[in-house]
């Protein structure tokens, strides 16, 4: 049985899907641990949630690009006697441009944040979940993990495909112990992501039916993880795209990806 007030750790909680997870879970009676780099945003969100939902919110800012950050974060939880029931591995961003045109340090930080940190946090928090026979892990992947890669954001689709496969194996290893693991795969989501990557002007030209709000994505995610769904693509349009690409010959799918990606990605 879940605890009366589950404790959820949300990475990348200062904006977008992470902040939407915080608001949704607080409304459902969860206490929260919020982490990201932007302390001012975390504190403002935490104070608003405390007032609105009378929940306990702990702010533990950190930069997951630092290889020591996951261990330090888990040590801070242990020092406060906090036992995580829900882990939302949401922290992420895009690195626009071609692979060789970007400094390796930038790529290394990206791999640390989107691949290594989620895996390490799951590894460090799973023993407690297994001991309590209850846990939920949501790894925020992307529709990009299901479709062919494209020029620009070279590591992005690869990292999301990793999170999908990682979630599948982790789910099969732990579902008999009361732990559900779900790879959440949204498509285009209304957030700051495209402002950060400098592609806002490109994606603004795309039709409205291709977009979802962060709140809609989180609502679908909660329902999917609770019913034990291991991989969930949000939105009917995105599920159609995934199914269509799966049926296509690889050569056609790559051609289509190369053509369409010019609408929303910078290749140089």
| Torsions phi, psi for 119 (to 5 deg) | -65, -45
Pair 221, 112: CB distance under 8 Å = no
Cα separations in angstroms, 214 against 23, 191, 220, 256 = 11, 7, 10, 27
pLDDT band at residue 234 using 50, 70 and 90 as cut-offs: very high
For residue 125, the 8-state DSSP code is H
- Of the listed ranges 10-24, 53-67, 160-174, 203-217, the one predicted with least confidence: 203-217
Pair 113, 66: CB distance under 8 Å = no
Mean pLDDT computed over 52-67: 98
Indicate if 209 belongs to the active site: no
Q: Which pLDDT belongs to residue 228?
A: 97
Mean pLDDT computed over 237-266: 80
Mean pLDDT computed over 220-239: 95
The β-bridge relationship of strands 135-140 and 86-89 is parallel
Pair 171, 227: CB distance under 8 Å = no
pLDDT band at residue 227 using 50, 70 and 90 as cut-offs: very high
- Chain-centre distance of CA 166, in angstroms? 13
| Torsions phi, psi for 154 (to 5 deg) | -55, -40
Which CATH fold would you assign to the domain 7-261?
A: Rossmann fold (3.40.50)
pLDDT band at residue 196 using 50, 70 and 90 as cut-offs: low
Count of beta carbons in the 10 Å neighbourhood of residue 174: 18
Q: Is the dihedral of CA 22, 64, 178, 185 positive or negative?
A: positive
Tokens for 37?
């780099």
Helix orientation angle between 16-27 and 39-53, rounded to the nearest 10 degrees? 20
pLDDT tens for each residue of 62-105: 999 999 999 999 999 999 999 999 999 999 999 988 999 999 99
Residue boundaries of the structural domains of the chain: 7-261
Count of beta carbons in the 10 Å neighbourhood of residue 3: 13
User: Is residue 180 scored above 80 in pLDDT?
Assistant: yes
- Given the residues 156, 162, 222, 264, select the one marked as catalytic: 156
**Contacts of 174 by beta carbon, 8 Å cutoff, 6+ apart:** 126, 129, 130, 135, 181
């Amino acid at each position: 049985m879940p605890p009366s007030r589950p404790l959820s750790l949300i990475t990348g909680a200062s904006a977008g899907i992470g902040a939407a997870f915080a608001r949704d879970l607080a409304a459902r009676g969860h206490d929260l641990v919020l982490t990201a780099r932007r302390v001012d945003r975390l504190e403002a969100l935490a104070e608003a949630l405390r007032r609105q939902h009378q929940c306990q919110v702990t702010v533990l800012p950190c930069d997951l690009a630092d290889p020591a950050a996951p261990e330090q974060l888990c040590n801070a939880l242990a020092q406060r006697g906090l036992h995580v029931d829900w882990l939302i591995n949401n922290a992420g961003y895009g690195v626009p441009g071609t692979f060789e045109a970007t400094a390796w340090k930038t790529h290394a930080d990206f791999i640390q944040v989107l691949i290594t940190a989620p895996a390490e946090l799951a590894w460090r928090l799973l023993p407690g979940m297994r001991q309590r026979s209850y846990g939920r892990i949501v790894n925020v992947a992307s529709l990009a993990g299901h479709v062919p890669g494209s020029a620009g954001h070279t590591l992005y689709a690869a990292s999301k495909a990793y999170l999908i496969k990682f979630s599948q194996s982790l789910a099969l290893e732990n579902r008999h112990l009361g732990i559900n693991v779900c790879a959440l795969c949204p498509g285009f989501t209304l957030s700051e992501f495209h402002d950060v990557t400098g592609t806002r002007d490109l994606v603004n030209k795309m039709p409205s039916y291709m977009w979802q709000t962060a709140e809609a994505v989180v609502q679908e995610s909660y329902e999917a993880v609770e019913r034990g769904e291991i991989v969930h693509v949000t939105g009917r349009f995105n599920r159609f795209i995934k199914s269509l690409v799966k049926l296509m010959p690889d050569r056609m799918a790559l051609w289509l990806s190369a053509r369409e990606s010019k609408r929303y990605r910078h290749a140089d």
